[in-house]
């Protein structure tokens, strides 16, 4: 299998636009924004965000402004290849885990050849599998990804409706990971509170909950995001695989083997007898990854500490935070939204 080298430098950069000065609101005074993005924000519905900024509703989903710029640039410039693998999720669905597992799976020769030098031991999964709109196309940069060896593995939180045309037109494979909305919400609440500037204090659980229920969360409405990919997976099962965090926790070997089959690299009988499935799962386990030096001390280029991506890694932690009334409300919304879809969360 070919080695995957992820990009280290961005070769092309579109000219940044200078802000026109004091007349612009502070969140639009950002050198990385194109006129297209600035103009767009003036016509989009907006709400106060979960961290320190505003959220804008674009194509039915909520984004903060820098993320919106990434979405637009990615939509305009990303050229999918048939052999690409795109990992898709809502924030806090377990993206970090899926990245680690897929990277280890597709590059399993690395493990067999040099287990002690595996890239996951010294690199956070987000560096090995970069986000399209949050890392590669951040601000208005257009990276040259055409020379990366295949299969290229990227990730995105983009809703199905906002995927670049080239993704829809190519034969690339999409792996979607979803998680039950209660645990997703609690994980998101903790995560965004870690990102809030100290002087702002914590976002209250009640305020965040109200926003989440109204669909106003990063890449929300949560349910619309999930349903978009659920339907795509039913329509094109060879191109879109739908995974659930809870099922992966319950039967990780089953789902790792399914993933390998879906990606066209099933485990051979020899690999099975060598115990490679277990090795990959152990390498990517919450305990292993969260205790690595890189993930305890390192930071993303955008400033988030890697350790913020590892909290408890359990199913059902929301019961420790949500009131009975909150649980009832979220269950009700979920039932209404998923009604008729045959999807159970
Ligand atoms: P909790 O906050 O419930 O602990 P994302 O990667 O999409 O940002 O999601 C983060 C969630 O996935 C966090 O959930 C985190 O603890 C959990 N997580 C991170 N790495 C994991 C792993 N290797 N196995 C299982 N869960 C993991």
Closest atom of ligand 1 to CA, residue 93:
7
pLDDT digits (tens, 9 = 90+) for 168-210: 999 999 999 999 999 999 999 999 999 998 888 899 999 999 9
Residue 241: pLDDT over 70: yes
Distance from the alpha carbon of residue 83 to the mean position of ligand 1, in angstroms: 27
Cβ atoms 68, 137 nearer than 8 A = no
Extents of the domains making up the chain: 26-338
pLDDT digits (tens, 9 = 90+) for 4-52: 333 333 233 333 333 334 455 665 666 679 999 999 999 999 999 999 7
Distance from the alpha carbon of residue 296 to the mean position of ligand 1, in angstroms: 14
- Is 77 labeled as catalytic in the residue annotation? no
Residues in Cβ contact with 68 at an 8 Å cutoff, skipping those fewer than 6 apart: 37, 40, 41, 56, 58
Catalytic position from the list 118, 126, 157, 190: 157
| Listed range (98-112, 155-169, 204-218, 242-256) with the worst mean pLDDT | 98-112
Query: What is the Cα–Cα distance from 111 to 279, expressed in whole angstroms?
Result: 8
Classify residue 5 by burial, with Cβ atoms within 10 Å: 0-12, 13-18, 19+.
exposed
Classify residue 233 by burial, with Cβ atoms within 10 Å: 0-12, 13-18, 19+.
buried
**For the structural domain made of 26-338, what CATH number should be given?**
3.40.50.300
How high is the pLDDT of residue 32? 79
Written in H, E and C, the secondary structure of 145-164 is: CCCCCCCCEEEECCCHHHCC
Q: Find, among 9, 51, 53, the residue nearest to 30 by Cα.
A: 53
| Listed range (8-12, 60-64, 86-90, 245-249) with the worst mean pLDDT | 8-12
Q: Between 35-43 and 65-77, two packed helices, what is the crossing angle to 10 degrees?
A: 120
pTM: 0.92
153-156/85-89 β-pairing: parallel
Nearest residue by C-alpha to atom 12 in ligand 1: 94
């Amino acid at each position: 299998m070919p080695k995957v080298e992820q990009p280290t430098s961005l070769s092309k950069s579109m000219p940044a636009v200078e802000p026109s000065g004091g007349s612009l609101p502070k969140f639009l005074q950002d050198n990385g924004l194109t006129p297209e993005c600035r103009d767009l924000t003036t016509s989009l519905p907006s709400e106060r965000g979960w961290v320190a900024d505003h959220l804008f509703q674009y194509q039915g989903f909520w984004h903060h402004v820098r993320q919106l710029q990434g979405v637009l640039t990615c939509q305009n410039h990303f050229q999918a290849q048939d052999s690409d693998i795109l990992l898709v999720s809502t924030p806090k669905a377990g993206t970090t885990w899926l990245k680690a597992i897929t990277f280890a799976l597709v590059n399993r020769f690395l493990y067999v050849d040099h287990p002690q030098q595996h890239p996951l031991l010294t690199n956070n999964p987000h560096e090995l599998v970069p986000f399209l709109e949050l890392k590669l196309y951040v601000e208005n940069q257009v990276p040259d990804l055409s020379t990366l060896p295949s299969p290229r593995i990227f990730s995105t939180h983009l809703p199905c409706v906002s995927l670049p045309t080239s993704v829809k037109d190519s034969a690339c494979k999409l792996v979607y990971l979803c998680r039950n909305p209660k645990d997703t919400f609690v994980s998101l609440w903790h995560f965004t509170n870690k990102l809030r500037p100290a002087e702002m204090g914590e976002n209250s659980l009640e305020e965040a909950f109200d926003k989440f229920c109204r669909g106003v969360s990063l890449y929300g409405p949560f349910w619309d995001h999930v349903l978009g990919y659920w339907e795509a997976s039913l329509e094109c099962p060879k191109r879109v695989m739908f995974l659930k965090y809870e099922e992966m926790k319950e039967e990780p070997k089953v789902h790792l083997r399914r993933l390998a089959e879906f990606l066209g690299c099933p485990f051979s009988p020899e690999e099975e007898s060598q115990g490679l499935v277990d090795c990959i799962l152990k390498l990517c386990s919450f305990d292993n990854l969260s205790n690595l030096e890189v993930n305890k001390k390192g930071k993303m280029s955008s400033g988030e500490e890697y350790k913020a991506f590892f909290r408890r890694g359990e199913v059902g932690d929301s019961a420790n935070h949500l009131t009975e009334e909150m649980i009832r409300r979220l269950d009700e919304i979920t039932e209404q939204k998923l009604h008729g879809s045959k999807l159970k969360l």
